[in-house]
Structure 1
Amino acid sequence: MKLFVRNKLVYIQKVKDLPDLHRFDTILEGSKPLKASHLQGKLLISCPSTDQLATLFKLMKSEPLDGLDQVVLAAAQRKPLNRQIKSMFRIVKAGGGLVTRNDRYLMIYRLGRWDLPKGKLDEGEKFGPAAVREVSEECNVSVQLRHKICTTWHTYENNGKDVLKQTRWYAMDCLNDLHMRPQLEENIHDVRWMKPNEVNQVLENSYLTIREVFMRYFYHYPQELMPFSTDQSA
């Protein structure tokens, strides 16, 4: 599981699958107290305690994170740790789309960053239909679902509550963009078709979740066809 907190990567991994420990700047055991000063470079927390997890997300919400590269949480088994982390947030489910047409990709400009169209599921709605609906509403285009790309998780705060958004992303084909326009009431101010090199440029002013979607999308194709930078540390 990859979790994005304020555009920083928190990665849950099995202890036995850890890479060379020398790559980490700080290593903490589960019994050690976590401090704001630890949020620098690459941080490894081995077998994190409940208190450590609570402190981590509290600090990541309130402290400057400019010097932090990523956090790795290592446990004997990932699923129990995943469940524990999810229990600390209110889960919101959403669907989104990476839409293509004539070797171009549909991007939206929202709240000062380039993004992909997505939105929350309505009550009783499935992920795929929700993703198609949200793309249609936010961009005023007609699309056809192709396949699932990946699921991303990111945190945010809403009315004082800590939220963990689960977004399932789908590849889509554009069927009609004759009346394409941004949904202004959703703070979307531009909708634009971009060539691969243009996408690579605007990803510098985007979110790591969006880089993740593009990276996973191109896993469906030969490596030499991947036009985007996949460096998560950039």
Structure 2
Amino acid sequence: MYKVFVKDIPIILSTEKHIGGQYTAIPLKLARFKKLIKKINKGKLTYVNLYHKNPEKLERFLRKKLPVVEAAGGMVYNSNKEILFIHRNDRWDLPKGKIEKKEGYEEAAIREVEEETGVEGLEIRRFITKTYHVFKRNGRFKLKVTYWYEMYTDYDGELRPEKSEGIKKAKWKNFEKSQKALQDSYENIKLLFPKEYLTTHPNDRVTQV
């Protein structure tokens, strides 16, 4: 299953026709992707599921319908188990940016995190997932595919938000502050976090014997 976000509303692409009663189910071959995007932007559509039995055709469909911009970024932890956030366009986000020509995904992710926050000594621990969202540039819809990595650093120096990229703040946030930041973030960013960040503190959960 894929979730392609348009203004925080996901277009679902799945192998199942029925994923919920509120969803409008459309066979992939009949989907008019740009028209769906326009309907979502106008508030005329909220739940839509594009389906095809072959999962390999789902992402292929996306990449054919819109010009693709590939990006990479990181969920960065420090020795205090805090997570590195940036604040841009009045929302909390994670550092990421466009992949340059002849640049690998991991290389781009580290470079972008360093440039946007000033953090140093990054070590990639694992690949998390890819996220998808639609944006408009110069009057054209485009699809951004972002490759996300979990990273670690013991850097404790000054953070330097990249002002030229519109980043107002770069902050380390503990569990509680991360939860608060996610309330003012993007839906595709929330996909990267374990469920407990979106519900309650792990210490508050009842342990069953």
TM-score, normalised on structure 1? 0.77
1:76 is matched with which residue: 26, 48, 53? 53
Residue 120 in 1 paired to residue 89 in 2?
Answer: no
TM alignment of 1:58-69, pairs within 5 A: 58-61=38-41, 63-64=42-43, 68=46
Q: What residue number does 1:34 align with?
A: none
Structure 1 distance, partners of 2:24, 2:51, is 7
CA–CA distance in structure 2, aligned partners of residues 145 and 78 of structure 1 = 29
Corresponding position: 1:174 with 2:143: no
Task: Please tell me the residue identity of whatever aligns with 1:104.
Answer: E
Q: Which consecutive unaligned segments of at least 5 residues does structure 2 have?
A: 200-209
Q: Residue 191 of structure 1 is aligned with which of 166, 170, 191?
A: 170
Partner of 1:35: none
Contact 2:86 2:170 in 1 (8 A): yes
Q: Is the aligned partner of 1:9 residue 2:6?
A: no
For 1:51 and 1:106, the matched residues in 2 are separated by 38
Could you tell me the percent identity over the aligned residues?
A: 31
The unaligned stretches of length 5 or more in structure 1 are: 26-42, 216-225
Q: Residue 94 in 1 paired to residue 94 in 2?
A: no
Q: Tell me the distance in 2 between the aligned counterparts of 1:192 and 1:51.
A: 41
Report if the CA contact (8 A) 2:26-2:48 is conserved.
no
In structure 1, the residue matched to 2:112 is: 134
Question: In angstroms, what is the RMSD of aligned CA positions?
Answer: 1.9
Cα distance in structure 2, aligned partners of 1:197 and 1:71? 33
- SS of residue paired to 1:149: strand
Aligned to 1:227: 196
Give the secondary-structure state (helix, strand or coil) at the position aligned to 1:176. Answer: coil
Residue 103 of structure 1 aligns to a residue whose secondary structure is coil
Moved over 6 A (4+): none
Tell me if 1:159 matches 2:138. Answer: yes
Query: Deviation at 1:51?
Result: 5.3
Contact 1:106–1:193 (Cα < 8 Å) also in 2: yes
